[in-house]
Amino acid sequence: MTKMIVKGLEIGVGAPKIIVPVVGKTEQALLEEIEFLTGIDFDILEWRVDHFDEVADIDSVKQMAGKIHAIIGHKPILFTFRTANEGGVYPASIEFYINLNKQMIMSGLIDFVDIEVFTGDEYVKEIVALAHQHQVLVIASNHDFDKTPAKDEIVLRLRKMQDLGADIPKIAVMPRSREDVITLLAATAEMKDKYAKKPLITMSMAGKGAISRVAGETFGSDFTFGAAKNASAPGQLDVKELRYILNVLHRSLA
Ligand X SMILES: O=C1C[C@@](O)(C(=O)O)C[C@@H](O)[C@@H]1O
Q: What is the C-alpha to C-alpha distance for residues 87 and 178, in angstroms, rounded to an integer? A: 22
Enter the DSSP assignment of 53: T
DSSP string across 100-121: HHHHHHTTT--SEEEEEGGG-H
Q: What is the C-alpha to C-alpha distance for residues 157 and 149, in angstroms, rounded to an integer? A: 10
Q: Does 188 bind ligand X (CB under 6 A)?
A: no
Which one of residues 15, 225, 229, 243 is an interface residue with ligand X (CB under 6 A)? 225
CB 197 within 8 A of CB 2: yes
Q: Does 236 bind ligand X (CB under 6 A)?
A: yes
Q: Is 157 annotated as a binding residue?
A: no
Q: Does 100 bind ligand X (CB under 6 A)?
A: no
Handedness of CA 159, 160, 165, 168 (dihedral sign): negative
Stretch that binds ligand X, among 129-137, 189-197, 232-240, 244-252 (CB under 6 A): 232-240
Any catalytic annotation for residue 134? Answer: no
59 vs 146, which CB is nearer to ligand X? 146
Q: Is 178 annotated as a binding residue?
A: no
Any catalytic annotation for residue 250? Answer: no
Handedness of CA 50, 53, 58, 63 (dihedral sign): negative
Which one of residues 16, 21, 24, 149 is an interface residue with ligand X (CB under 6 A)? 21
Per-residue contact flags (x/-) with ligand X for residues 127 to 156, judged by CB under 6 A: --------------x-x-------------
> What's the CA dihedral at 66, 70, 75, 81 to 10 degrees?
-20
Q: Does 80 bind ligand X (CB under 6 A)?
A: yes
133 vs 178, which CB is nearer to ligand X? 178
**What contacts 64, CB < 8 A, 6 or more positions away?**
27, 30, 52, 54
Q: One of 17, 51, 69, 170 is an active-site residue; which one? A: 170
Q: Does 24 bind ligand X (CB under 6 A)?
A: no
Q: One of 75, 143, 151, 198 is an active-site residue; which one? A: 143
Which one of residues 16, 98, 232, 246 is an interface residue with ligand X (CB under 6 A)? 232
Buried b (16+ CB within 10 A) or exposed e, 4-37: bebeeeebbeebbbbbbbbbbeebebbbebbeeb
Cα 124–Cα 138–Cα 10 angle in degrees, nearest 5: 160
Site residues (vs ligand X, CB under 6 A): 21, 46, 48, 80, 82, 114, 141, 143, 170, 172, 203, 205, 225, 232-233, 236
Name the residues annotated as catalytic.
Answer: 143, 170
List residues forming the annotated binding site for 3-dehydroquinate.
46-48, 82, 213, 232, 236
